[in-house]
A = this chain, B = another copy of it.
Amino acid sequence: MTIAPPLARARADQPFSGGDADQPLSDAAADRLIATLGAEARRAATRLAQAPTAQKAAALRHAAARLRADEALLLAANGEDLARAETRGLSNALRDRLALTPARIAAMAAGLESVAALPDPVGAVIDTAVRPNGLALSRVRVPLGVIGIIYESRPNVTADAGALAVMAGNAAILRGGSEARASNGCIHAALVAGLEAAGLPATAVQRIVPADRAAVGAMLRAAGLIDILVPRGGKSLVARVQAEARVPVLAHLDGMNHSFVHGAADPAMAETLIVNAKLRRTGVCGATETLLIDRAYPVPARLIAALLDAGCALRGDAEACALDPRVTPATLEDWDTEYLDAICTVGLVDGLEGALAHITRHGSHHTDAIITEDAAAAERFLAEVDSAIVMWNASTQFADGGELGLGAEIGISTGRLHARGPVALEGLTTYKWLVRGTGQARP
Q: A residues near B, CB below 8 A?
A: 46, 49-50, 129, 131, 135, 137, 142, 144-145, 223, 227-228, 242, 248, 266, 269, 272-273, 275-277, 280, 360, 378, 382-384, 386-395, 397-398, 403-405, 415-418, 420-422, 430-442
8 Å CB contact of A276 from B392, B430, B441: B441
Cβ–Cβ < 8 Å partners of A439 in chain B: 266, 269, 272-273, 393-394
A-B contacts, 14 listed (Cβ < 8 Å): A131-B404, A135-B398, A137-B404, A137-B405, A269-B439, A275-B441, A276-B442, A378-B436, A388-B433, A389-B435, A390-B434, A391-B436, A397-B441, A417-B418
Cβ–Cβ < 8 Å partners of A387 in chain B: 432
Question: Smallest CB–CB gap between A236 and chain B, Å?
Answer: 18
Question: Smallest CB–CB gap between A244 and chain B, Å?
Answer: 10
* Beyond A391-B436, A417-B418, 17 extra complex contacts between A and B, CB < 8 Å: A46-B386, A131-B405, A135-B394, A142-B386, A144-B417, A227-B416, A248-B415, A272-B439, A386-B432, A390-B434, A391-B437, A392-B434, A392-B435, A393-B440, A395-B440, A397-B442, A398-B440
Q: What's the number of copies of this chain in the assembled complex?
A: 2
A393 touches B276 (CB 8 A): no
Cβ–Cβ < 8 Å partners of A145 in chain B: 416
Main secondary structure of the interface of A (DSSP, over half): mixed
Q: How many angstroms from the CA of A435 to the CA of B403 in the assembled complex?
A: 11
Cβ–Cβ < 8 Å partners of A421 in chain B: 432-433
Cβ–Cβ < 8 Å partners of A442 in chain B: 276, 280, 395, 397-398, 403
Q: Which B residue's beta carbon lies closest to that of A286?
A: B442
Question: Smallest CB–CB gap between A113 and chain B, Å?
Answer: 19
> Given A272-B441, A386-B142, are A129 and B392 neighbors across the interface (CB < 8 Å)?
no
Closest 3 CB pairs of A and B: A394-B437, A276-B441, A397-B442
Question: Smallest CB–CB gap between A22 and chain B, Å?
Answer: 35
B394 touches A440 (CB 8 A): yes
A392 touches B437 (CB 8 A): yes
Question: Smallest CB–CB gap between A29 and chain B, Å?
Answer: 23
8 Å CB contact of A388 from B242, B269, B393, B432: B432
Question: Smallest CB–CB gap between A38 and chain B, Å?
Answer: 15
Q: How many angstroms from the CA of A135 to the CA of B400 in the assembled complex?
A: 13
> Given A384-B50, A416-B227, A430-B416, are A131 and B440 neighbors across the interface (CB < 8 Å)?
no
A441 touches B393 (CB 8 A): no
Q: Which B residue's beta carbon lies closest to that of A227?
A: B416
Q: How many angstroms from the CA of A248 to the CA of B416 in the assembled complex?
A: 10
Cβ–Cβ < 8 Å partners of A386 in chain B: 46, 49, 142, 432
Q: How many angstroms from the CA of A436 to the CA of B135 in the assembled complex?
A: 41
Question: Smallest CB–CB gap between A415 and chain B, Å?
Answer: 7
Cβ–Cβ < 8 Å partners of A389 in chain B: 432-433, 435
Question: Smallest CB–CB gap between A380 and chain B, Å?
Answer: 9
Cβ–Cβ < 8 Å partners of A392 in chain B: 434-437
Cβ–Cβ < 8 Å partners of A438 in chain B: 393
Cβ–Cβ < 8 Å partners of A434 in chain B: 382, 390-392
Cβ–Cβ < 8 Å partners of A393 in chain B: 436-440
Question: Smallest CB–CB gap between A365 and chain B, Å?
Answer: 9
Cβ–Cβ < 8 Å partners of A142 in chain B: 386
> Given A248-B248, A432-B387, A435-B390, are A395 and B441 neighbors across the interface (CB < 8 Å)?
yes
B280 touches A403 (CB 8 A): no
Q: How many angstroms from the CA of A135 to the CA of B369 in the assembled complex?
A: 13
8 Å CB contact of A50 from B272, B383, B398, B437: B383
Cβ–Cβ < 8 Å partners of A131 in chain B: 403-405
Q: Which B residue's beta carbon lies closest to that of A276?
A: B441
A432 touches B390 (CB 8 A): yes
B430 touches A420 (CB 8 A): yes
Q: Which B residue's beta carbon lies closest to that of A430?
A: B416
